[in-house]
C-alpha cells in the first residue's frame, strides 16, 4: 500500500452527483454544466436535479417549492436552544448545534430525499435568526411568498430584496451546491458509511466546513478591493505584493488549471447587476490587470480568478456581512452534502483506510 498525505490523488468513491474537471475548467452536476444551470435556472430547479437526477417539470417544481416553504420554520424546542446559547457564539457553531438537535427518530437510517429537503429548507432560517439576534435586530419570520434564496435575503435584511440581487445570490447558491470529494463532503460520506443518520453526517460536514482551510470566506478579497479602492492604484498595489512573493486573494485554485467555471458564471450573472453597482467596474479591472501581471511574474502558470473572487463581488453587491459568508456557503452546500449522503447509503461500504505506523516498536 502507498501513502498519500491528505488522501490527495486517492479515489474514494464513484459518484453520479457531480464532477470537477480541473484540467478543462468544467464543473458538472448530473450531466449539466454548473455554469449553465447558474445562468438559466433557479436554485429550486437545480436542487431538485441534484437530488432526483432530472430537472423538474412545472408541476414537480411547484410541489417542490411548496414543500421547501412548508419546512422553513424552527421548532419550538430548537427556538428554546437558540434563546439560551451565548450571544457571542459564531453562526457556524449555532447551526451545527441546531441541526444536531433536529436529529430525532424522523431522521433515522436510511436517509431520504424528504429529509434532505427539510434540512435544507430550515438552514437559512437558523442562520438569519442568529445573525439578527447577534446584531440586536428583531427576528424576521419566513415569507411564504418568496422562493428559497429571496426568502433568505428577506429574513436577513428585513425587506423584500431586489430581483437583480436575488439573481446574483441565486447564482452563487447554485455554483456552491457541489464540488466533488472535498473535506466536508468526504466527512459526510464517512459518517453515512457507518449507517448513522443524515443529521449526524451533516453535523460532521458542518464541522469540516467551519475550518478556515475549507470554508474560507471571500472577506479577504473584499478587504483587498477596498484597499485598492481605485483603478489607478491597481497595478502598483498588485506589483508591490508580487514583488514580495505574496498571494493575491481570489486568484488561483488547487484543482482548476484553467479558468474556474464558477467564477466565469458569477461574472456573467453579475454583469446584469453592474449598471446598478459601480463597484463592479473596479472588480473587472482588478481581474484584468492582475491576470496580466501574474502571467508576467509567473509565465505559463495560467493563474486566474477563483470562485471566491466573484463571490466577493456578490457579497458586496448585496451588502452581506462577513460573518454570513461561510454560513451562506454552507446553506447552499446542504444540497450537495445530502445528495452524497443519499448516494453513499444506496451502495454502502464502511470507510476503513489504513495508516502507516511511525512510532517505536517494542523489542
In sequence order, what are the residues at sequence separation of 6 or more whose Cβ sits closer than 8 angstroms to the Cβ of residue 288?
none
Residue 110: is the preceding peptide bond cis (ω within 30°)?
yes
Residue 136 CB coordination number (10 Å): 7
DSSP 72: -
Q: How far is CA 194 from CA 71, 163, 214, in A?
A: 28, 43, 24
Marked catalytic residue, from 44, 45, 287, 308: 308
Look up residue 91 and give its three cell numbers. 453562526
Q: Give the sign of the dihedral formed by CA 301, CA 306, CA 312, CA 313.
A: positive
Say what the alpha-carbon torsion angle 179, 181, 184, 190 is, to the nearest 10 degrees.
150
Burial of 177-191, coded b for 16+ CB within 10 Å and e otherwise, reads bbbbbbbbbbbbbbb
Supply the Cα-derived Rg of the chain in whole angstroms: 21
Asked if 283 and 263 count as a contact pair (C-beta separation under 8 A), the reply is no
Asked if 120 and 198 count as a contact pair (C-beta separation under 8 A), the reply is no
Burial of 14 (0-12, 13-18, 19+ CB in 10 A): exposed
Q: Is 296 an active-site residue?
A: no
Look up residue 37 and give its three cell numbers. 444551470
Q: Is 19 an active-site residue?
A: no
Marked catalytic residue, from 253, 264, 287, 340: 253
- The angle that helices 43-52 and 58-70 make with each other, rounded to 10 degrees, is 100
Q: 331, 338, 19, 15: which is closest to 176 by C-alpha?
A: 331
Burial of 54 (0-12, 13-18, 19+ CB in 10 A): exposed
Facing residues of 28 across strands?
19, 33
Catalytic site positions: 253, 308
Amino acid at each position: 500500500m502507498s501513502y498519500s498525505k491528505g488522501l490527495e490523488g486517492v479515489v474514494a468513491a464513484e459518484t453520479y452527483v457531480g464532477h470537477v474537471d480541473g484540467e478543462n475548467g468544467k464543473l458538472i452536476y448530473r450531466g449539466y454544466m454548473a455554469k449553465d444551470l447558474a445562468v438559466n435556472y433557479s436554485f429550486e430547479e437545480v436542487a431538485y436535479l441534484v437530488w432526483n437526477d432530472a430537472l423538474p417539470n412545472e408541476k414537480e417544481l411547484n410541489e417542490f417549492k411548496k414543500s421547501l416553504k412548508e419546512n422553513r420554520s424552527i421548532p419550538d424546542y430548537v427556538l428554546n436552544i437558540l434563546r439560551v446559547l451565548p450571544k457571542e457564539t459564531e453562526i457556524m457553531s449555532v447551526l451545527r448545534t441546531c441541526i444536531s438537535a433536529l436529529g430525532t427518530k424522523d431522521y433515522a437510517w436510511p436517509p431520504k430525499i424528504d429529509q434532505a429537503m427539510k434540512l435544507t429548507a430550515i438552514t437559512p432560517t437558523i442562520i438569519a435568526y442568529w445573525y439578527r439576534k447577534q446584531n440586536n435586530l428583531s427576528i424576521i419570520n419566513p415569507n411564504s411568498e418568496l422562493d428559497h434564496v429571496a426568502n433568505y435575503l428577506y429574513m436577513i435584511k428585513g425587506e423584500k430584496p431586489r430581483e437583480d440581487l436575488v439573481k446574483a445570490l441565486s447564482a452563487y447558491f447554485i455554483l456552491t451546491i457541489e464540488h466533488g470529494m472535498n473535506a466536508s463532503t468526504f466527512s459526510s460520506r464517512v459518517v453515512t458509511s457507518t449507517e448513522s443518520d443524515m443529521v449526524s453526517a451533516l453535523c460532521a460536514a458542518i464541522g469540516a466546513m467551519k475550518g478556515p482551510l475549507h470554508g474560507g470566506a471571500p472577506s479577504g478579497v473584499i478587504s483587498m478591493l477596498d484597499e485598492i479602492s481605485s483603478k489607478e492604484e491597481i497595478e502598483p498595489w498588485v506589483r508591490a505584493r508580487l514583488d514580495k512573493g505574496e498571494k493575491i486573494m481570489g486568484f488561483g485554485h488547487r484543482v482548476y488549471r484553467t479558468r474556474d467555471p464558477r467564477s466565469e458564471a458569477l461574472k456573467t450573472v453579475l454583469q446584469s447587476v453592474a449598471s446598478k453597482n459601480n463597484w463592479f467596474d473596479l472588480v473587472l479591472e482588478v481581474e484584468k490587470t492582475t491576470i496580466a501581471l501574474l502571467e508576467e511574474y509567473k509565465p505559463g502558470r495560467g493563474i486566474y480568478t477563483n470562485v471566491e473572487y466573484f463571490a466577493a463581488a456578490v457579497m458586496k453587491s448585496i451588502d452581506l456581512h462577513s460573518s454570513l459568508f461561510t454560513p451562506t456557503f454552507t446553506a447552499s452546500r446542504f444540497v450537495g452534502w445530502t445528495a452524497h449522503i443519499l448516494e453513499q447509503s444506496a451502495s454502502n461500504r464502511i470507510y476503513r483506510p489504513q495508516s502507516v505506523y511511525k512510532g517505536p516498536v517494542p523489542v
